[in-house]
Structure 1
Amino acid sequence: MPPKGKGGKGGKGAASGGADADKKEKTPKGGTAVKVRHILCEKHGKCMEAMEKLKAGVRFSEVATQFSEDKARQGGDLGWMTRGSMVGPFQDAAFALPISSMDKPRYARLVIGEAKMAAPEEPELSQAQTEKLLQFQDLTGLESIDQCRRTLEQHNWNIEAAVQDRLNEQEGVPSVFHPPPPRPLQVNTADHRIYSYIVSRPQPRGLLGWSYYLIMLPFRFTYYTLLDILRFALRFIRPDPRGRVTDPVGDVVSFIHNFEEKYGRSHPVFYQGTYSQALNDAKRELRYLLVYLHGDDHQDTDEFCRSTLCTEEVITFINTQMLFWACSTSKPEGYRASQALRENTYPFLAMIVLKDGKMTMVGRLEGLIQPEDLINQLTFIMEANQSYLMSERMDREQRNQTQEIRKRQDEEFEASLRADQEKERKKREEQEQKRQEEEKVRQGVLMEERRRRNLEEEKERKSECLPPEPQADDPDSVKIVFKLPNDTRVERRFLFGQSLTVIHDFLFSLKETPEKFQIVTNFPRRVLPCLPSEDQPNPPTLKEAGLNRCQVLFVQDLTED
């Protein structure tokens, strides 16, 4: 199978199949590939004859040795091929075939087949890596999970470094963690629809003009020839210092300073950043980027800068329509841009715009161009590519809308989640409050039960400790009638010499008596000191209290008080 750009000429083609394999090769990893064999034939009849032998079961390597016109090295084996490494029709047929099969003649006279297919192999992510991957995607807003994974792998799964690098990239700042190698920047210059406008130097006019031209021709030829020889020789002595980019921003700032010293400060607004940053900003803002490569030694450079680039109409047009980046090719950063854009002569201008998802050069202007022509050519290029920018804007708006919808959905989800969490919290609080109240009631019941039990035990103890009731005919006895708060009457006899405490203990031992009470007389109304106090630690006897042999006392309930 011919690699891309190296296919057979005219009617030549290739035939391949995978029925047998003489050698085992290591399967490529990292992307889908096919292993193919081919037979290159000039005539269709010869190609069909080879097909018949293959169908009859003859080894592919033998048929390739007999029929292939490219000597069929290794039995026609081309090894592993990936997409993009072969011509279009050959590639489509090779990847469309089932494994170990052959195809009819293709690509004029072509027979192809497929032996094996290698699928990409990627290591499985750990749980920690998966969590970092999802977190990185949420933080950066990237939709491609593969791009998120590649970025994290480049930073050794350091999510802080990866996020910072992504933010730097969005702002057009070079990566501070993994700076890109100093190689030519990737700009799509392979588009065959690039508009080119080349201005040739005007021919001499008149006898005086031709005389001056002929006189200066040998000097000019000698100068440029010696200069080219000197540059070529210096390459063998030491490498071109422009190949090492150490301070790209400094290169651009230095060029702008030199330009203003030589041509004045009236010029289009220069982008003060690297070429890569200018590309990123133009891509992010969906604007055209005009790149000017300044050739210091070219004979038309001074006239272009003074008469074209620094004119008022050109300045106004460029400043209002596009970003403008410029640098001298004598600087490493300008030289790197030169390698990417591949200019032929100076002055050189390139128009770059986002096209089909890539920053693509859509126009190039070379030579000494006049201000009016420059504006006209740039306007033509912009109008011809305006549809691409409109398409990109629509796609970006759609992505932004999708992200906005997703953001709103996330916010609504977060709000709903917070509301659910708040409800759950309140529910837990209510349950806890209810539990505490129930526990409080239960403790109250227990305390009341304990208090009542203690009270009953105390009543029983007081009842057991009471002295016996004296006889009715005892001359020292006192008959007392107690009127309780519930209008119940209780009678008992006591001795005059007994303390009022005995009366209190008797009443306390009764079930009808309240827990707290005091004993009062009716006429005169006074409270009997039945319990010890600070003023009277020993309560008086019944006789000392002035009670009669037949006395009525009232029991007053103090529990509510």
Structure 2
Amino acid sequence: MADLGVSGYEDKLASFQAVTGIDDLDLCREILSAHDWDVELAVSSFISAPSGFAASNSDSWQGVEDLPPPPPHDVDGGPQPPGLAWKLVTLPISVVAGSLSLISGAVNLGFWIAGGVLSHSFRLLGLGFPATAARVDVPSSSSPNAPLITISSVAAEAATFVASFEREFGRGPAFVAEGFMDALQRSRRDFKMLFVYLHSPDHPDTPEFCSGSLCAEAVAAFVNENFVAWGGSIRSSEGFKMSNSLKASRFPFCAVVMAATNSRIALIRQIEGPKSPEEMLSILQQVVEESAPVLVTARVEAEERRNNMRLREEQDAAYRAALEADQARERQRKEEQERLEREVAEEERKRKEEEELREKAAREAVEKEAALARRRQEKAMSLGVEPEKGPNVTQILVRFPNGERKGRRFDSSAMIQSLYDYVDSLDCPGMENYTLVGSFPRVVYGPDKLTLTLMESGLHPQASLFVELVS
């Protein structure tokens, strides 16, 4: 073989890792070196070998729980398959067997390897999606025009396997079309164990086992009733990882696992090699009988947790209802108290306003009375002393609306204004607006005659006037 250079070997190593998913670089180098660095030949040998060379890859779970450990022998009593060291020693024999199987599946394998190499190359260049984050968009089955539904790559692999299995072998166990971890969580929710089938398309016993045993009516019905079934091809990413995690050494391979704590799975039973329907049914019945107490206990504990949670929710709901009722009553009490306080405050405000109005009216009345008193005093002072009788003195008699009469002497030279000052100086209520009127003939001594003298007005030597109120 010609020297490929450092970059050439690294490219082949990366391509082999992309297809097989093996993380151990030293193991990949040994396998490629044994096949003269022929990637296609090494992959074919790896796929067709009785057991994969790679150790378990780390996945979204921590690994397979060690309790209970898998039996040291196969269920039929056969010896345990040889280890990795023996496989490396007998690697040339595997190469020959892989070459024969490569001829029969050259076309499919060529496309598969090319796809893996391209996918890995794109990821190295940062142009592709990570393997754990790949998504597939498929249209909804309910309507061709419905929006695309995004599913994960592992779910797409599972759906592809289910369709391929039913198309090739007919109806068998009801494999779920979802990833392994989703199926494991489904089995945990349903309080069932997970039946795992790893499909090896190139194994000679696979067609007979699938059509004769897995698809047997009794076996399929028992699996569907007592297990959640998950299947995957070892040519798919997750199926290959599960073959490493479950240490599948012989095919056909089935296993029964159960969800354990700390994101781990407990391996209950491995079923390796071809089995008749009767053997499969007997093994699965034994597994169900042995694991029934664990599942019943888990179901009872979960029911108790649900009952306790429901009781707590009911108690919380009752407490919240009582609290809300108390809060509503307290709000109502506060609102009633605030209403009463507002009414009392409004009454107090009105009382104060009325009191202020009364006080204001009283002050105004006092002020008005004081103003009238000052006015009467000022008018009386402006009149001066009443003159004695004489030829130049005029006698005036004033009659008020209430029938009262008042009289006074004035100088004949005094003006009509003096008569108004005289009336204003008297303590007569209701005399704010008035007019002095003469009776025979009727003469109104209004504002236009205030500056006339008594002589000029014809009131000398004596006259009688009426006080006529002006409305």
Question: TM-score band (shorter)?
Answer: 0.5 to 0.7
Partner residue of 1:477?
399
Partner residue of 2:429?
506
SS at match of 1:298: coil
Alignment check: 8 A CA contact 1:459 1:508 kept: no
CA distance in 2, matches of 1:508, 1:263: 128
CA distance in 1, matches of 2:309, 2:266: 26
Alignment check: 8 A CA contact 1:200 1:367 kept: no
Partner residue of 2:314?
408
- Displacement of 1:390 in angstroms is 0.9
CA distance in 1, matches of 2:274, 2:466: 140
Partner residue of 2:198?
293
Alignment check: 8 A CA contact 1:354 1:388 kept: no
- Displacement of 1:342 in angstroms is 1.1
Partner residue of 2:385?
none
Q: Equivalent residues in 2 for 1:458-497 (5 A)?
A: 458-466=364-372, 475-478=397-400, 480=402
Aligned match of 2:96 in 206, 222, 226?
226
Partner residue of 2:28?
none
Alignment check: 8 A CA contact 1:194 1:362 kept: no
Partner residue of 1:386?
292
Deviation sequence 1:224-258 (CA, Å, 0-9, x none)? 45246999xxxxx99x9899665322222222233
Partner residue of 1:396?
302
Instruction: Tell me, yes or no, if structure 1 residue 348 matches structure 2 residue 218.
Output: no
Instruction: Tell me, yes or no, if structure 1 residue 447 matches structure 2 residue 324.
Output: no
Aligned match of 1:314 in 219, 235, 250?
219
Instruction: Tell me, yes or no, if structure 1 residue 457 matches structure 2 residue 363.
Output: yes
Instruction: Tell me, yes or no, if structure 1 residue 262 matches structure 2 residue 162.
Output: no
Alignment check: 8 A CA contact 1:196 1:365 kept: no
Partner residue of 1:373?
279
Aligned match of 2:159 in 253, 277, 296?
253
Alignment check: 8 A CA contact 1:198 1:365 kept: yes
Check 1:281–1:187 CA distance in 2 against 1; reply closer, same or farther (3 A cut): farther
- Same amino acid, percent of matched pairs: 24
- Displacement of 1:502 in angstroms is 13
Check 1:196–1:457 CA distance in 2 against 1; reply closer, same or farther (3 A cut): farther
CA distance in 2, matches of 1:542, 1:282: 122
One-letter amino acid of the structure 2 residue matched with residue 476 of structure 1: V
- Displacement of 1:314 in angstroms is 2.3
SS at match of 2:64: coil
Q: When the two structures are superposed, what TM-score results if normalisation uses the length of structure 2?
A: 0.52
CA distance in 2, matches of 1:313, 1:448: 101
Q: Which entry has the higher C-alpha Rg, 1 or 2?
A: 2
Partner residue of 1:278?
183
SS at match of 1:506: coil
Alignment check: 8 A CA contact 1:304 1:368 kept: yes
SS at match of 1:362: strand
One-letter amino acid of the structure 1 residue matched with residue 224 of structure 2: N
Q: Equivalent residues in 2 for 1:70-85 (5 A)?
A: none
- Displacement of 1:446 in angstroms is 1.8
Deviation sequence 1:87-143 (CA, Å, 0-9, x none)? xxxxxxxxxxxxxxxxxxxxxxxxxxxxxxxxxxxxxxxxxxxxxxxxxxxxxxxxx
One-letter amino acid of the structure 1 residue matched with residue 174 of structure 2: V
SS at match of 2:400: strand
Check 1:257–1:360 CA distance in 2 against 1; reply closer, same or farther (3 A cut): same
CA distance in 1, matches of 2:259, 2:200: 26
Q: When the two structures are superposed, what TM-score results if normalisation uses the length of structure 1?
A: 0.45
CA distance in 2, matches of 1:478, 1:184: 121
SS at match of 2:65: coil
CA distance in 2, matches of 1:186, 1:363: 15
CA distance in 2, matches of 1:390, 1:545: 115
Alignment check: 8 A CA contact 1:255 1:327 kept: yes
CA distance in 2, matches of 1:456, 1:375: 114
CA distance in 1, matches of 2:100, 2:334: 87
What value does the CA root-mean-square deviation take over the aligned residues? 4.6
Unaligned runs of 5+ in 2: 1-56, 79-90, 102-112, 121-130, 135-152, 381-394, 408-418, 433-464
CA distance in 2, matches of 1:478, 1:326: 128
CA distance in 2, matches of 1:277, 1:392: 19
One-letter amino acid of the structure 2 residue matched with residue 226 of structure 1: V
Instruction: Tell me, yes or no, if structure 1 residue 330 matches structure 2 residue 235.
Output: yes
Structure with larger RCO (C-alpha < 8 A, sep 6+)? 2
Check 1:222–1:230 CA distance in 2 against 1; reply closer, same or farther (3 A cut): same
- Displacement of 1:447 in angstroms is 0.7
One-letter amino acid of the structure 1 residue matched with residue 359 of structure 2: R
Partner residue of 1:84?
none
Partner residue of 2:343?
437
Alignment check: 8 A CA contact 2:213 2:275 kept: yes
Deviation sequence 1:475-514 (CA, Å, 0-9, x none)? 4233739xxxxxxxxxx8789x99xx999x93799xxxxx
Check 1:352–1:494 CA distance in 2 against 1; reply closer, same or farther (3 A cut): farther
Alignment check: 8 A CA contact 2:205 2:251 kept: yes
Q: Equivalent residues in 2 for 1:6-45 (5 A)?
A: none
